Structure 1
Amino acid sequence: MANVLVTGGAGFIGGNFVHYWSEHHPDDVIVVLDCLTYAGNQSTIAGVERAELVVGDIRDTDLVEKLLRERGIATIVHFAAESHVDRSITGPDAFIETNILGTNSLLKAARKVWLDEGSGMEHRFHHISTDEVFGSLGPDDPAFSETTPYAPNSPYSASKASSDHLVRAYQHTFGLQTTTSNCSNNYGPYQYPEKLIPLFLLNALSGKPLPIYGDGMNVRDWLHVEDHCRGIEACIEKGVPGETYNIGGGAELPNLMVIERICEEVDKAFAEIDGLAERYPGAPAAKGRSTVELKTFVEDRKGHDRRYAIDETKARAEIGYQPGYDFESGLALTLRWYLDNERWWAPLIRSA
């Protein structure tokens, strides 16, 4: 049995990881540290019996030290972050506070308890980062690898790049046993409806516009969140301290194609599932029309990166990472999850 601290474990990816780790490591005790901001939702991890929620801030170094000591924690899985690019453009300070200072706080606490106090405990600090730290690719550029130079283009990605460098420095300078993974765009259950896929799914159900930045041809690599959790598990169990691993979904698609597939899945669901038209009468599909009529092109986002793509060769070869979902099946399952879990997302829509 092992004790694991999951920061941001009531958020989207962190919450999915708590479910995944509990299912695959049923004897482990999971301590979730989350300050329950707008994107943190206690109901996301409700029912996970071996998960204890501690409401607190990762910048509270004393609290983190106390948890590491008192719970005998040997593994930190660090998800906690401000992550929405649009919010980082309008209010970058929160990203500096959480993503940089918060990560430094965790590293200081881990160093003190695991190294300076001489516990000799085998430990691992796994840091979750993003492909956005690498900047933007041209249409013919090779995909991002672990050796791609950093070139962040938004306050969000700059703050994540800074945190990546701190993690590397603590491993190199102090000997903290760290690993880092850089992931592509996640989607799946429990995602806060400000991100593209849940936003467009829920807008389609209520008949609201589907706002498409620019020409809609910005390209992203899409990763189902369960595959991401599988990759993180491989990093923790098989990753070499000091190394970074790219975790991708192998689904490099322009946003416009993703949006069209969302529309197709919504139309298909209304055709196949009895009662959807009564539940969501505002949806075009409830009236026999196509969801694509909701597509609306809007002014492009400032500094909008054109293309991201992940080369996951290293993760496949060295830690055995293998995604289990293709985009079509993953998107269909995601839509059905949102249809089946209105009680989870409806309060978020009302409070937005």
Structure 2
Amino acid sequence: MIAHTQTLFGAVALVAVIMGSCLILVGQLRHRDGMLTTGLGMLSHSLAYIGFTLFGQVSMWITYVLANVLLSTALSFYTVSLPLIHARRPPWRLAFAFPLLLGVLLSLLIDTQEPRQLVACVLLFTQCLVILHLSRLHAVAGGRAHRVLMIGAGISLFGLGIRVVVILSGAPTEMHYDVSNLKQTVSVAIGAATIIMLSFGLVLLSRERIESELRQTALRDTLTGIPNRLAILEQLADELERARRQRIPLSIAMLDLDHFKQINDSYGHLIGDAVLMHCADHLQQRLRRNDSIGRYGGEEFLLILPGTDASGALELVDQLRQSLTQHPAQGEGHVIALSFSAGVHGLTPAEHDDVTSMLLKADKALYAAKHAGRNTQMLAATS
């Protein structure tokens, strides 16, 4: 079915104005979520299509040069929205160099036909490739928004490819904005799909990024920055299942800072917080790549040591304990000696082993270490 090209341009422009205005109203509240620039991109897109609608009725400077520059500007706004959504610095100069270059080249080629059309297509094609690359680069782990963006950019590339093929085949007049034919109908429809998919993809990407940050915040200890109790227990459950499936050893260690209450009472809670941060950072830096540490509660930490049997875990914890005693915490001119007591439990998991039983055995071993005078580690009983 062949539709009236300029009517299609007008309809797409109307939809883009409505969607862009809504995003700008939302984006004004949070300039760093990319919604404001996405909305500005849609408004630029709509103004470009309004210019195409007037092709043949007013000056070519407006309906071709300005309209294509506005279309390029829209793609530039979409480009900078991607890093903005992730609160990263966008490539402003690179992004907006495209519409500036396009404006200069079209001004020089305004009296030509094929050259100006090819220049417009090539530069817009390049911008779509940039969006395609950045969509993959700024994908949220486990998210799908980048796929929508990549499909939108891919559709636009296909539409521009159609225009290039028609122009190179010697029929550039068929791509004039006041000509209605099947190629133009498909091309404009692709343009409409591009607007919808890019805008929807950017909104969805912003949502995925926020949800990802909230999840990370929910699973991180706000003081030390390491996984909190919920996160480390989830990880332990995953490691236990993996160790059971692969029939490999798994060990855990419950660490408790010695005399931490005295540190709080003697130096204050701010120094106490600094001590906890020092311990978490020191221990985390000295763990092996596959090991994990989380704040279990208060001054207690939980270590997960995959692929490590009980004797290996006991040796590793002893090394960590000695290292911490050799690196005291410092704050407000005070040097605070540190040590910890630890309960270690290691096994090759069977079907009846679970997280609760592992924690109970490690906790009993920790109690035994404290009872033995602290600053030591004990291995849990095997029975």
Please report the TM-score for the alignment, with normalisation by the length of structure 2: 0.23
Structure with bigger helix share is 2
Structure with bigger strand share is 1
Q: Which has the higher contact order (CA 8 A, sep 6+)?
A: 1
Larger radius of gyration: 2
Please report the TM-score for the alignment, with normalisation by the length of structure 1: 0.24
